[in-house]
Amino acid sequence: MAYVTLGAAILVEVLATTAMKYSDGFTRLWPSLGTAAGYLIAFVLLAQTLKTMSVGTTYAIWSGAGTAVIAAIGMLFLGEAANAARLIGIALIIGGVVVLNLGGAH
């Protein structure tokens, strides 16, 4: 169940970060409110996950997956460059999360 809660936290965090892009520096009401609400929900879900998972494993998955997904959204939907360096960076993030989990997951 902890991985489901963590997955939900990641999804909400990704949605909140995407809303932040559209908030235009917090000058647009609805994207700004979406950002604030999304991060609040994401942190509540993250806190629930930490009741049963170690902080290192949880945070590695949350931050790594969120970073990789946001980078992919930027490249696929927001016109950001999709070059070899970025793709290698995403692969390294994912690889790092996997290694941390293999080395310390219980």
In this structure, what token pair is assigned to residue 16?
């909140």
37-95 tens-digit pLDDT: 999 999 999 999 999 999 988 999 999 999 999 999 999 999 999 999 999 999 999 99
Characterise 68 by phi-psi region: left (phi > 0), alpha (psi -120 to 50), beta (else): alpha
In this structure, what token pair is assigned to residue 54?
């170690």
In this structure, what token pair is assigned to residue 46?
């993250």
Q: What is the pLDDT of residue 104?
A: 64
Instruction: Reply yes or no on whether the pLDDT at 105 is more than 60.
Output: no
| Residue in this structure with the two tokens 């959204």, named with its chain if needed | 73
What is the C-alpha to C-alpha distance for residues 8 and 12, in angstroms, rounded to an integer?
6
Q: What is the pLDDT of residue 101?
A: 82
DSSP 8-state code for residue 81 = -
Q: What is the pLDDT of residue 106?
A: 53
42-56 tens-digit pLDDT: 999 999 999 999 998
Q: Contact, 60 vs 7, CB < 8 A?
A: no
Q: Contact, 84 vs 29, CB < 8 A?
A: no
